[in-house]
Structure 1
Amino acid sequence: MRKHVISAIGSAVVLGLGPTACGSGSGSGSGGDDALVVGATAVPAGEVLSYIKQDLAEKAGLDLEIREFTDYVLPNTALQEGSLDANLYQNQPFLDDFNKSKGTDLVSVVKPYLPPMGVYSKKAGDVTELADGATVAVPNDVTNEGRALKLLAAEGVITLKDGAGTAASPADITANPKHLTFKELEPAQLPRSLDDVAAAVINNNYAQDAGLSPATDAILLESAKDNPYANLLAVRKGDEDDPRVEKLAELLTSPEVRKFIEDKYKGSVLPVTSG
């Protein structure tokens, strides 16, 4: 079943998905005054933030605490509720959908990198090799499913109706020459589905968590050109001018972080030149 991000909260809690603290200190999100408490998924956001914490933060006068999450909903609910000061893991369409469905007012500060979504398969070396009637697994939340379908449409695998936006669904498919069937799964479950489906469209962080290299293992990978899905640093509206947030935003877009991303991910995560 396709879900808005709001509907994933229950399943996330049932599965025990939640934050893991990394580092020390306490910010306004946890009752203190100095540390900036930032929520993130482990890869790449957590790794980028860990690099900043270890190599850049002290010199910049920033006390940074990182809390890692394993799902896409709890980092926003924790931010809205005040146990985080900021988070880094989502893109603008996802944030817009979350704000609309939850009635929140989280805002973007800067967009430092793009983790490209990819199509992965153990049965085909190219999307053109997918068999007639094959099953393709896609994320079941609104914005990530729309993103997956737009990726397939950009390659001509399917055609979407004119005007299908970031919330595109299988109902918007107007041409499906390979008669593909789309199986909607929780994003974190997609890498595990590869033995059971012909292909899966997987978010970057879950692909890397599963040991997949987007740059070399994906049979189709998003381009960075005109891509609206760059990850962003989000805060509660009104906190954009917090000096700690401004410091982190500056570090996220620094030459040092750009080089770290290029050297570590080798094309699997792409730095963005402007936020």
Structure 2
Amino acid sequence: MHIRRNPLLRTAVAVTVALGLTAGVTACADDGNDDSVITIGSTEADKSQWKVFQEKAEEAGLNVEIKGFTDYNTPNRALSEGDLDVNQFQHILFLADYNVNSNADLVPFGATQIFPLGLYFKDGTTVADVEEAGEVVVPSDTTNQGRAINVLVQAGLVTLKKDGLLSPTPADIDTDSSKVTVTAVDASQTVTAYQDGTPAVINNNFLEGADVTAADAVFKDDPSKPEAQPYINVWVTTADQVDNADYLKLVEIFHDPEVQAAVQEDTNGSAVEVTTSAEELQEILADTEAKIKEQN
């Protein structure tokens, strides 16, 4: 899920995508142009969720082909160029960055999940415990720093000088109105800080090193909150196909309990199912694109 030109967004998009995406392989060998086949681009075509998904799609009378990609740039280009019907591998922020920087108009038509970014505290279990500690460590890379600070905003621990910032930095924090101080360190050092007793926002790929799971988070971003919405992963197609009835069935199938069980198995329980409507997703996309253009 990575197309980057804006310095603030380059890494940001990449790392967050990495939380939810890994290299994939083609799950079906049919490369024909049969109009009855719906081709879906994914960077996780080798995951068990897609096998279950294909079975459920077949039961629903749909013939789907999962095309695997090993990088995050190609699936959107392939969709724009007509080599795919839809793709499902990215969150809204990544899609917005692609559209803005490629002059494209790809559109989300269904939500899948979000991979929450969490706040962890070895010596506490509540946000009040973190407030009492008085300090929180966040990753210093621009990818996760902005999202981490917004996690603290959602938790009520930090106030920004200006609301609604896509990628706030420590300089954007209103220290007088905030309940904790924020220290930015290398992402790997958030684990050390956590183990030493300092509350920390830890990237999902460092959780194992901290010997915690997503379930141990004191607080994590809420998909319903504006700060987290750009990180909702989505189904995407071209603007002229956004109301395609068969494509909309794909969204329903993805939320089938058996498919969701496979998603949880594939993600070690870190994925949170999201059912935000297509209309709202498109509003979030438009807002995110506007913020990217403003930053550019």
2 CA distance for matches of 1:99 and 1:3? Answer: 16
1 CA distance for matches of 2:90 and 2:73? Answer: 10
In structure 2, the CA distance between the partners of 1:167 and 1:35, relative to structure 1 (3 Å rule), is same
1 CA distance for matches of 2:172 and 2:57? Answer: 46
Counterpart of 1:251, as a letter, is: I
Partner of 2:39: 36
Name the one with the larger strand percent. 1
In structure 2, the CA distance between the partners of 1:125 and 1:41, relative to structure 1 (3 Å rule), is farther
Shift of 1:266: 9.1
Give the aligned CA root-mean-square deviation in angstroms: 4.3
- Write out per-residue CA displacement over residues 221-267 of structure 1, whole angstroms, 9 at most, x where no aligned residue: 22344462432111233343556534422312445545665788797
* Residues 76 and 87 in structure 2, CA contact (< 8 A), matched pair in contact too: yes
Q: Structure 1 length normalisation: TM-score? A: 0.67
* Residues 136 and 201 in structure 2, CA contact (< 8 A), matched pair in contact too: no
User: What aligned pairs does 1:131-150 form with structure 2 within 5 A after superposition?
Assistant: 135-137=137-139, 140-141=142-143, 145-150=145-150
Q: How many residues align?
A: 251
User: What aligned pairs does 1:26-65 form with structure 2 within 5 A after superposition?
Assistant: 26=30, 32-33=33-34, 34=37, 36-41=39-44, 46-53=47-54, 55-60=55-60, 61-65=62-66
Counterpart of 2:27, as a letter, is: G
2 CA distance for matches of 1:119 and 1:41? Answer: 27
1:182 aligns with 2:184: yes
* Residues 108 and 235 in structure 1, CA contact (< 8 A), matched pair in contact too: yes
Deviates more, 1:174-183 or 1:76-85: 76-85
- Write out per-residue CA displacement over residues 117-161 of structure 1, whole angstroms, 9 at most, x where no aligned residue: 2234668766645966664215523xx543322111122332212
In structure 2, the CA distance between the partners of 1:140 and 1:88, relative to structure 1 (3 Å rule), is farther
1 CA distance for matches of 2:203 and 2:92? Answer: 18
1:111 aligns with 2:116: no
1:3 aligns with 2:12: no
- Write out per-residue CA displacement over residues 15-39 of structure 1, whole angstroms, 9 at most, x where no aligned residue: xx98431412345xxx643351321
* Counterpart secondary structure, 1:160: coil
In structure 2, the CA distance between the partners of 1:126 and 1:113, relative to structure 1 (3 Å rule), is same
2 CA distance for matches of 1:181 and 1:23? Answer: 44
2 CA distance for matches of 1:10 and 1:230? Answer: 14
2 CA distance for matches of 1:196 and 1:74? Answer: 36
Structure 2: unaligned runs, 5 residues or longer: 1-5, 16-20, 195-199, 278-296
* Residues 139 and 148 in structure 1, CA contact (< 8 A), matched pair in contact too: no
User: What aligned pairs does 1:197-212 form with structure 2 within 5 A after superposition?
Assistant: 197-198=193-194, 199-202=200-203, 206=205
Deviates more, 1:102-111 or 1:153-162: 153-162
Shift of 1:197: 4.5
2 CA distance for matches of 1:224 and 1:18? Answer: 22
1:20 aligns with 2:21: no
Find the structure with the greater CA-based Rg: 2
In structure 2, the CA distance between the partners of 1:163 and 1:41, relative to structure 1 (3 Å rule), is farther
Name the one with the larger helix percent. 2
Q: Structure 2 length normalisation: TM-score? A: 0.63
Counterpart of 2:250, as a letter, is: L
Counterpart of 1:62, as a letter, is: N
Partner of 1:92: 92
Partner of 2:197: none
Identity fraction in percent: 25
Structure 1: unaligned runs, 5 residues or longer: 12-16
